[in-house]
Amino acid sequence: MATMTHEPQAALEVDRVTLELGGRAILNDASFTVNTGEFIGVLGPNGAGKTTL
């Protein structure tokens, strides 16, 4: 019996995003991939850059 393997397909890919505002690093080299059918959550303290991301 043959086994089929499916490579996950990226629905969203963020690669090495960096953002500075007012001389302050808001995001520094942020990278992640969300594949089709996946759900993610972003957690962190106030001011961590969640909304900016």
What confidence tens digit (pLDDT) does each residue in 16-45 have? 999 998 998 888 999 999 999 999 999 999
Domain count, the chain: 1
Is residue 28 one of the residues assigned to a domain?
Answer: yes
Domain contains 14: yes
Q: For residue 45, what pLDDT is reported? A: 95
Number of neighbours of residue 35 by Cβ within 10 angstroms: 13
Within the chain, what is the greatest distance between any pair of CA atoms? 60
Q: Is the pTM of this model over 0.75?
A: no
Range of the domain at 14: 10-35
Query: Considering the domain boundaries, does residue 19 fall inside one?
Result: yes
Question: How far is residue 53's CA from residue 30's CA, in Å, rounded to a whole number?
Answer: 8
Q: Is residue 42 part of a domain?
A: no
In a domain, 23, yes or no: yes
Tell me, yes or no, whether 1 lies in a domain. Answer: no
On whether residue 51 sits in a domain, the answer given is no
Q: 2: pLDDT confidence band, cut at 50, 70 and 90?
A: low
